[in-house]
Amino acid sequence: MDLPIRALKHLVVSKSRRNNPSATQTYGILVRRTNLRYEHRVFYQQSKLHICCMIQRIQTVYLLLAAMAGVFMFIVPVLTVAPEVHQEGSLTVYQISGLQVNQINQSESTLYLRPWAVLITNALVLLMSVFLVFLYKNRPLQLRLCRLLFLLIVVQMVLLVLGADKIKEIAGDNYAMSFPVGAILPVLELVFVYLAANAIRSDERLVRSADRLR
């Protein structure tokens, strides 16, 4: 950007030789505009570079996959409490998700209760997974929070099992807990967070090795 500024300076100086009183002011305005455009361009390029670096790191993919699993936990049943033996007449099934517990009776689904502990825990897991993506500049903190997120998912799984066991006690002795396809979602959260932590640890070791070589 030095060449345009020099050209402008040469133009203005030549005008000043012609005794133009506004030459200095015109030069200052043109230089400020040129510098402002240059700063905007540099800021855009740096922001684009930071975003590209953040997206290209594999732990970002793992964390976003963990967040997607958390979203599906609000929709898909994770645990089911149903009678062990099929009985004629009314059949009540309880489907537990991260958002609510539905009571299904004769093909009619109604809200049974809100598992607030599971709901809040799953919301924290989802928010933390997204938040950790933007901590790519601070890998030690990102790794510590990733371990905390792993423990939070374990707590969430324990709360789900305890809630299903409580519903089974209320429903009766002939009810049992079963695991539908959605039961794999919290397990996937654990796997993705574990893989993200390993990728972050590998990056940190690589950076430290490069620093020692310097």
Q: Enumerate the H helices of the chain as residue ranges.
A: 2-17, 23-56, 58-73, 116-133, 139-171, 184-213
Give the domain range for residue 14: 1-55
Do both 62 and 44 map to the same domain?
Answer: no
Do both 35 and 70 map to the same domain?
Answer: no
26 class by beta-carbon count within 10 Å (0-12 exposed, 13-18 middle, 19+ buried): middle
Query: 40-69: b or e for each residue (b if 16 or more CB lie within 10 Å)?
Result: eeeeeeeeeeeeeeeeebebbbbbbbbbbb
The count of structural domains within the chain is 2
* Dihedral sign of CA atoms 178, 181, 186, 192 in order: positive
pLDDT < 70 positions in the chain:
1-56, 85-90, 211-214
pLDDT tens profile 162-187: 998 888 888 877 888 889 999 999 99
Do both 41 and 139 map to the same domain?
Answer: no
Residue 96 tokens, joined: 């537990």
User: How many other CB atoms are there within 10 angstroms of residue 192's CB atom?
Assistant: 22
Considering the entire predicted model, what is its pTM?
0.69
Do both 155 and 185 map to the same domain?
Answer: yes
Do both 166 and 191 map to the same domain?
Answer: yes
Q: Determine the pLDDT at residue 147.
A: 93
